[in-house]
């Protein structure tokens, strides 16, 4: 399946040739670096180097408010505003390496906070605005937050009660307060009024900490993955090669900055590549999203499988209702994209949706489908030039690379790419367990075919062992999704002494189908015919929805915990928590 839509020549024109000639040093040479050889700073590459050149009057961020009012920030405007906030932090005495947190919706102040913080060499850490007080406390306490930028409503609802429990928290800045509430609870507008819009970014070592992203744990405390300024090389080149940014492009990443995609690709990558980003304050609404794509002439759209599945369920004739002549590339990340969704993109937009794979720990896209490379629906794609991925057998002491095609194993990445996380904050033992020799252990299982395409099997701890078979839940879910009655599916292993585990599926039916025994037997029969009786689900339970994170990942371990009556663990990122 071809992924090329228009006559615009992709940046990654010849994948194989680029693999052989690629060098991270050469990519570093495509960026500016700080003046006078003072290092590498994400915010400088994203804003300041553009703000006095040809892009100074180009819109960097276009904020669409809930009422559809539009606020545009050009690169020169953004440069001044982020410098003001950098001076705010400097005036408050915030030092290099201290953590600045945000807890807000997709408002301009959040994005200015992120970039202004990076200018000062403090560390930016975003939180989801939907988090309750306990997840907020866990992350701010573990991250030793010095500053929090939030709104008055969120402060009253979630932060006020935590203040005495967070001794490191020196200042709270309210984005919408007219005046300071106290010496600790301050007004954004008052601070910004008093701050200069001139700021010289200090010397920044490429290995200086820049970003802290918390990932949800199965149990206990979330993990804080720490990334450095050098990660901007990955942000830049994935924007160029995977997202295929060209001068003048309009880009829309629907992810919230509370998730790593919303920071790496909702803030940094488009700015480093000098394009315009759309930021919608409102949550998912199919007609609103389609109208934004049309009205704002979006060229590149990066979203999540959750949103795509919702759109697929809508009774909307996309081709007849909207004009998407400007749309060139659609990409998806979060949970592997079923082949049906890739094909749905081809049928409704004229080109397939490009899935890609990465993790909070990798900081940027690692394996992808590209605009110039043939798409195999359901595949993760091929590794980013500069990233070595492999399938391996792993035990406690050694790692053995599997060279034969189509063999299932652990997905591993060779260390050396710039966006790989440098630590789990205050958890060195946990961090060290992620590595064996020169390889990073992703915790995912996959296979690699004879053409070099990678195929996701599942999380290693999600694999179902049934009657001597190792069954990946994604494989079963993908098959169930082919049934005309099935809208969504999630699969777990349920303990069964005679066979180890049985495969149980939770199924959301398409509208118009009744959840009865006849439909259940129809789906079971289909699965057995497609997959064989050993792998097909032995139990099916109809549900109204599948629990997912806001980034689109199916929470299989939550389904399993509920099925077995076990503790649910950390559910702070649950989509409808």
The pLDDT of residue 4 is 45
Helices (H), 99-179: 108-120, 133-142, 152-154
The pairing of beta strand 409-414 with beta strand 389-394:
antiparallel
How far is residue 160 from each of residues 172, 400, 521, 572, measured CA to CA in Å? 10, 52, 53, 19
Residue 576 — pLDDT band, cuts 50, 70, 90? low
DSSP-assigned letters across all residues of 249-280: -EEEE---TTSHHHHIIIIIHHHHTT-EEEEE
* 21-49 mean pLDDT: 97
Distance CA 152, CA 172 (A): 10
Q: pLDDT exceeding 70 applies to what percent of the chain?
A: 95
| DSSP designation for 426 | T
The pLDDT of residue 553 is 76
Query: Coil, strand or helix: which one is 430?
Result: helix
The pairing of beta strand 276-280 with beta strand 250-253:
parallel
The pLDDT of residue 573 is 62
The pLDDT of residue 393 is 95
Tokens (6 digits) for 332: 């998806």
The pLDDT of residue 361 is 96
Long-range contacts of 188-194 (CB under 8 A, 24+ apart): 188/109, 188/149, 191/88, 191/91, 192/81, 192/84, 192/85, 192/88, 194/91
pLDDT at 132 over 90: no
Work out the angle between the directed axes of helices 286-295 and 305-313 (0-180°, nearest 10): 100
The pLDDT of residue 531 is 78
* 489-514 mean pLDDT: 89
Tokens (6 digits) for 45: 């590459």
* 405-409 mean pLDDT: 95
Closest by CA to 149, choosing from 89, 100, 213, is: 100
The pairing of beta strand 500-509 with beta strand 486-496:
antiparallel
Question: CB-based contacts of 309: which residues, under 8 Å, 6+ apart?
Answer: 341, 487, 488
Instruction: Report the range of poorest mean pLDDT among 72-86, 123-137, 262-276, 456-470.
Output: 456-470
pLDDT at 5 over 80: no
Produce one character per residue of 179-215: b if its CB has 16 or more CB atoms within 10 Å, e if not: eeeeeebbbbebbbeebeeebebbebebebbbbbbbb
pLDDT at 194 over 70: yes
pLDDT at 486 over 70: yes
pLDDT at 83 over 90: yes
The pLDDT of residue 219 is 44
| DSSP designation for 573 | T
The pLDDT of residue 6 is 56
pLDDT for 59-81, tens place per residue? Answer: 999 999 999 999 999 999 999 99
Greater confidence (304 vs 155) lies with 155
Mean pLDDT across the chain: 92
Distance CA 418, CA 45 (A): 15
What is this structure's pTM? 0.86
Distance CA 140, CA 146 (A): 9
Name residue, tokens 């990122």: 573
Residue 551 — pLDDT band, cuts 50, 70, 90? low
CA angle 431, 437, 438 (to 5 degrees): 90
Cα 402 to its chain centre, rounded Å, is 28
3-state secondary structure 350-400: CCCCEEEECCCCCCCCCEECCCCCCCCCCCCEEECCCCCEEEEEECCCCEE
215, 226 Cβ separation under 8 angstroms: no
Residue 577 — pLDDT band, cuts 50, 70, 90? very low
Distance CA 548, CA 553 (A): 5
pLDDT for 224-261, tens place per residue? Answer: 999 999 999 999 999 999 999 999 999 999 999 998 99
Query: Coil, strand or helix: which one is 164?
Result: helix
pLDDT at 100 over 50: yes
Report all structural domains of the chain as residue ranges with CATH numbers, in order of start.
15-448 (3.40.50.12780), 464-546 (3.30.300.30)
């Amino acid at each position: 399946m071809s992924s090329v839509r228009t006559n615009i020549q992709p940046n990654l024109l010849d994948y194989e040739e680029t693999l052989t000639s690629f060098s991270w040093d050469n990519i570093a040479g495509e960026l500016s670096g700080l003046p006078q050889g003072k290092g590498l700073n994400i915010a400088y590459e994203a804003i300041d180097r553009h703000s006095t050149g040809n892009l100074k009057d180009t819109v960097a961020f276009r904020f669409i408010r809930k009422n559809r009012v539009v606020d545009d920030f050009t690169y020169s405007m953004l440069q001044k505003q982020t410098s003001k906030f950098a001076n705010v932090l400097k005036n408050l005495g915030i030092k290099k390496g201290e953590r600045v947190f945000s807890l807000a919706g997709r408002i301009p102040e959040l994005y200015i906070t992120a970039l202004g913080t990076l200018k000062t060499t403090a560390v930016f850490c975003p939180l989801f605005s939907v988090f309750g007080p306990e997840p907020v406390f866990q992350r701010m306490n573990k991250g030793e937050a010095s500053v929090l930028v939030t709104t008055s409503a969120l402060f009253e609802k979630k932060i006020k009660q935590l203040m005495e429990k967070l001794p490191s928290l020196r200042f709270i800045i309210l984005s919408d307060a007219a005046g300071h509430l106290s010496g600790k609870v301050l007004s954004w507008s008052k601070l910004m009024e008093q701050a200069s819009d001139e700021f010289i970014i200090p010397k920044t070592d490429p290995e200086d900490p820049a970003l802290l992203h918390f990932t949800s744990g199965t149990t206990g405390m979330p993990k804080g993955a720490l990334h450095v300024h050098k990660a901007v090389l990955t942000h830049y080149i994935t924007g160029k090669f995977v997202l295929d940014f060209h001068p003048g492009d309009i880009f829309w990443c629907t992810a919230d900055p509370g998730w790593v995609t919303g920071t790496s690709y909702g803030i940094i990558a488009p700015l480093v590549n000098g394009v315009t980003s759309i930021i919608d304050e409102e949550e998912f609404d199919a007609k609103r999203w389609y109208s934004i794509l049309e009205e704002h002439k979006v060229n590149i759209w990066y979203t999540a499988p959750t949103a795509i599945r919702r759109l697929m369920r809508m009774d909307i004739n996309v081709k007849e209702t909207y004009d998407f002549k400007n749309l060139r590339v659609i990409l998806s990340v979060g949970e592997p994209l079923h082949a049906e969704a890739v094909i749905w993109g081809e049928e409704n937009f004229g080109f397939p949706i490009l899935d890609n794979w990465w993790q909070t720990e990798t900081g940027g896209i690692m394996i992808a489908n590209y605009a110039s490379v043939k798409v195999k629906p359901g595949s993760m794609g091929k590794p980013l030039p500069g990233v070595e991925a492999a399938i391996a057998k792993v035990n406690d002491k050694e790692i053995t690379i599997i060279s034969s095609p189509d063999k299932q194993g652990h997905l591993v990445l060779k260390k050396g790419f710039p966006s790989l996380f440098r630590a789990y904050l205050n958890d060195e033992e946990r961090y060290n367990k992620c590595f064996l020799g020169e390889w990073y252990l992703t915790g995912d299982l996959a296979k690699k075919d004879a053409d070099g395409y990678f195929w996701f099997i599942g999380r290693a701890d999600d694999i179902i062992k049934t009657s001597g078979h190792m069954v990946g839940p994604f494989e079963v879910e993908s098959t169930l999704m082919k049934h005309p009655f099935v809208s969504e599916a999630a699969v777990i292993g349920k303990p069964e002494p005679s066979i180890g585990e049985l495969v149980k599926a939770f199924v959301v039916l398409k509208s118009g189908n009744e959840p009865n025994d006849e439909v259940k037997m129809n789906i079971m029969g289909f699965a057995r015919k497609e997959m064989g009786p050993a792998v097909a689900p032995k139990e099916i339970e109809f549900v109204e929805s599948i629990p997912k994170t806001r980034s689109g990942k199916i929470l299989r371990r939550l389904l399993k915990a509920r099925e077995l009556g076990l503790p649910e663990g950390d559910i702070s990122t649950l989509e409808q928590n």
